[in-house]
Copies of this chain bind each other. A is one copy, B any other.
Amino acid sequence: MGIDGLDGRIITLLAREPRIGVLEMSRRLGVARGTVQARLDRLQSNGVIRGFGPQVDPAALGYPVTAFATLQIRQGQGADVRAHLATVPEVLELHTTTGTGDMLCRLVARSNADLQRVIDRVVGFDGIVRASTAIVMENPVPLRIIPLVEQAALGGKDD
């Protein structure tokens, strides 16, 4: 498991110009089309590339406010809380973390006022003892993967 330079260049190219086709990629990378196709198949069956789903911007959907909430869970209620949070559309992701039965979740809301509603809905559940919320003001580094891909590609020889 791991990727080489060619894999890295494929992913990077794909990240920069997603609508590019296999044929055009092979031209840009200077390799045969079959090679690119084979690499892509491998990357996908490896699970390195999970998919090509549309990247939707919550702000453009009308949810410009993002927040992170740290939840303290009552012992043994973890599963219930997870199920509860999964039903809230504004919960974009949820992690359980080290610490005292804590969870961290990413929320979005239509406004700061709306965030109150979301938080009420999130914490209005029995197993949640306490919640502390941090509202996101800026996002200097949006979710990115290319630097890591390039880092990972250094391990492989090819290029």
A residues neighboring B (CB under 8 Å): 1-3, 11, 14-15, 18-19, 46-63, 66-68, 82, 85-86, 88-99, 102, 104-106, 108, 134-145, 147-152, 155
| Contact of A143 with B93 at beta-carbon distance under 8 Å, contacts A47-B57, A48-B60 already known | yes
Closest to A40 in B: B54
Main secondary structure of the interface of A (DSSP, over half): mixed
Please, which residues of chain B bring their CB within 8 A of the CB of A59?
47
Chain B proximity of A118: nearest CB distance (Å): 11
Specify which chain B residues have a CB less than 8 angstroms from the CB of A58 in the assembled complex: 145, 148
Judge whether B52 and A55 touch: CB under 8 Å: yes
Name the B residues within 8 Å of A139 (CB-CB).
93-96
18 additional A-B pairs beyond A61-B148, A96-B137, A97-B136, beta carbons within 8 Å, are A2-B61, A11-B54, A47-B59, A48-B56, A48-B57, A50-B57, A61-B152, A62-B155, A63-B148, A68-B68, A68-B104, A93-B139, A94-B139, A94-B140, A96-B136, A97-B134, A102-B134, A104-B134
